Amino acid sequence: MKALLAACLVLPLASGTAHAAARACGGSPADFDGDGRPDLVVAAPYDDRRAGSVTVLYGDGRTVKLVQERPEPGDAFGSALAVGEFDGDGCADLAVGVSEEFAGERVPGADGNGAVELFHGSPEGLRPRGRLTPARPSSDRFGAALAAGDLDGDGRDELAVGAPTRGRGGAVVVHWMKGRDRLEITQRTRWVRQAANVTDQWGAALAMGDFDGDGRDELAVGAPADTVTHDGQGSVTVLDPARRRALMLTQSSPGVKGSAEKWDAFGAALTTGDFDADGRDDLAVGVPGEGLSARQRAMDYGDGAVHVVYGGRAGLRGARTEMWTQRLLKGEPRYYDRFGAALAAGDFNGDGDDELAVGVPGENAVQVLAAGRAGGLTRRGDVVVKGRGWVPAVLPGGRAQAFGPASGKASARAAGKASGPVDGLVVADPGKGTVSYVPGVRRPGPYAGPRPGAARRLGTGSGLYGYALG
């Protein structure tokens, strides 16, 4: 069994204060070392002959590269990332997917068994703390998707691990819920009750959010190749493991706009945010295969679309929904755009509600939809960030050099404040190996926030550097 090695390489991004070893963690989100600044994690799963690596850009200017102690070509360390508070010490922790790892000898042409490497935060930064592996491993791709959130309300985050090729159709394994170390959920779990096909990829995308406002998160599971009534139409299942409840969403669900078609890939990307500032999380679902262009051929890339399902007292059951395409926003849809291939949500204008960042790989762009506090997302004031990449992430309350104080967004909203810290947008172009920072600007109302003209480069690397961000 492999241990981990954190190989330190100091490459200052900017001048910063010296690291204080005696500092205690303060419970800020995305802060691994307790210095009050958010830290950024960049995955490069194809680095070093696809062995993979993860780079941590600390808010004080340090850069630390994480690799496995005995990296093997093809492991894909960094295939997914999740940041959470797993041990209750106040420092953010990191989970790294290694989806193509083999427990024994590598099988040529086969999918990996997979694993997840854990790093816990401390005043000195991230430290290795072991690994998670699938029970009775096969070609599972365990760790291809990750999400962190508090599913049981105990104040500590649980970790959900996607294994989209496990068994018949895929699986999700939840770690550290009250009363059990691991809980494996599949489409055929008694309280989920779905048909399962070996090609469904159930668990290829994951997101956590509190959709009903009860103080506990729910888990959204994307199955972008799920064949419900059409080949590859895709689905999303919202799970409440504590209550053993499941809700399946497709483009054919009542109230969901549009219609399910072959190869839409509904659920290929997921994110959660509070777009209408009602204190409940909302769910955004990427549908990058959605066809809008005339004479589009089957299994072409797709123009793309995004569905937003708004949380309420009953969660997402019977909730209000919206469908967004480039026809409603700035830009012109093309069959190769794949609008919705990646998603992120953050408060980029500091008015207390989240905006939605949508990756558009065919245009090498990220499109940011503005939100209005009363009605949620709006077609007014969207911003397109071009030429910087298409994988978006959020840097809480950050600035490009000294990343800045952590967000504190949740507590500000709970107090009913109309404004809060301004989040920053991080955009990656894995093909070119670049990661850029686009600062937000405080401007309440239906205004997206990010300023493309003020964008700056944060770092570069090889091996699909920027494939995943945390």
Structure tokens at 144: 């291809």
Q: How confident is the model at residue 298 (pLDDT cuts 50, 70, 90)?
A: low
pLDDT at 255: 87
Instruction: Write down the mean pLDDT value for the chain.
Output: 88
DSSP codes, 271-318: EEE-SS-SSS-EEEEEETT---STTPPTTS---BEEEEE--BTTBTTT
Instruction: Tell me the one-letter amino acid at 392.
Output: P
Within a domain: 116: no
Report how far residue 402's alpha carbon sits from residue 76's, in angstroms, rounded to the nearest whole number: 30
Mean pLDDT, to the nearest integer, of 339-363?
A: 96
Mean pLDDT, to the nearest integer, of 282-311?
A: 88
Within a domain: 292: yes
% of the chain residues with pLDDT over 90: 73
pLDDT tens digit sequence for 242-263: 999 999 999 999 988 888 888 8
> 3-class SS at 54?
strand
pLDDT at 45: 98
Res 20 pLDDT > 50: no
How many domains in the chain? Answer: 1
Res 15 pLDDT > 80: no
Mean pLDDT, to the nearest integer, of 389-403?
A: 72
pTM: 0.90
Which of 314, 305, 409 is CA-nearest to residue 354? 409
Domain range for 443: 244-391+399-404+422-469
Within a domain: 163: no
Mean pLDDT, to the nearest integer, of 293-306?
A: 80
Q: How confident is the model at residue 13 (pLDDT cuts 50, 70, 90)?
A: very low
Res 12 pLDDT > 50: no
Mean pLDDT, to the nearest integer, of 87-103?
A: 94
Res 407 pLDDT > 50: no
Within a domain: 248: yes
Structure tokens at 201: 């990829």
Q: Which helix (H) or strand (E) holds 49?
A: helix 47-50
Res 16 pLDDT > 50: no
Least confident of 33-37, 366-370, 389-393: 33-37
